[in-house]
Amino acid sequence: MKVTFLLAEGAGKHVDQTVSILRAGLNRVTGPRLPIPFRAAVVILFEAEPGDVGPHRYAIRCVSEDGRDLIAPICEEFAVTALPATHSIVQPLAGGFLSVGKVRWLLEVDQEVRAQTTMLVALEEG
């Protein structure tokens, strides 16, 4: 299964499984003080390949540099019923980071990390 995994400022899913994305590729969030507010959308595009037909489970995780979960993992199931198949997911996120540093966003599919991206959480300078 091919996977595209993005953090964006906002996104919307259409009935034909396409996605409209605003400001994709977020890799930094800043604020004047802790907690640093965070509002975004996780965009996931799954492109099924032969052998992918059937049920699947994904999890979105945000972990600290030492591997601690910073948010409760977001877990959902989806099914590939026929090929070719594209399945898109837009998951809104909102909250606040209680510390600064690098965080990793992970996408696990069927308990295997399939994609990840890094984000810097920092206080504004000045």
Cα–Cα distance, 19 to 43 (Å, whole number)? 8
Token pair, residue 4, equals 């595209």
Mean pLDDT calculated for residue range 69-87: 92
How much is the mean pLDDT over the chain?
95
Q: Which residues pair with 97 in a beta bridge?
A: 36
Read off the CATH number of the domain in which 87 is found: 2.60.40.3880
Q: What ranges make up the beta strands (E) of the chain?
A: 2-13, 19-24, 28-31, 36-47, 54-63, 74-80, 86-97, 101-109, 112-123
Cα–Cα distance, 57 to 117 (Å, whole number)? 20
pLDDT interval class at 82 (50, 70, 90): confident
Mean pLDDT calculated for residue range 64-68: 94
Q: CB–CB of 93/42 below 8 Å?
A: yes
Confidence (pLDDT) at 54: 94
pLDDT interval class at 85 (50, 70, 90): confident
Mean pLDDT calculated for residue range 103-126: 95
The range of the structural domain enclosing residue 89 comes to 2-123
Residue 126 has pLDDT above 80, yes or no: no
Q: CB–CB of 84/46 below 8 Å?
A: no
Enumerate the H helices of 22-118 as residue ranges: none
Confidence (pLDDT) at 84: 86
pLDDT: is 126 or 61 the higher one?
61
Cα distances (Å, whole numbers) of residue 24 to 4, 42, 74, 99, 126: 12, 9, 20, 23, 27
Confidence (pLDDT) at 65: 93
Number of domains in the chain: 1
Say how many C-beta atoms besides its own lie within 10 A of residue 21's C-beta: 16
- Residue 5 carries which side chain, given as an amino acid letter? F
Report pLDDT digits (tens) over 12-62. Answer: 999 988 999 999 999 999 999 999 999 999 999 999 998 999 999 999 999
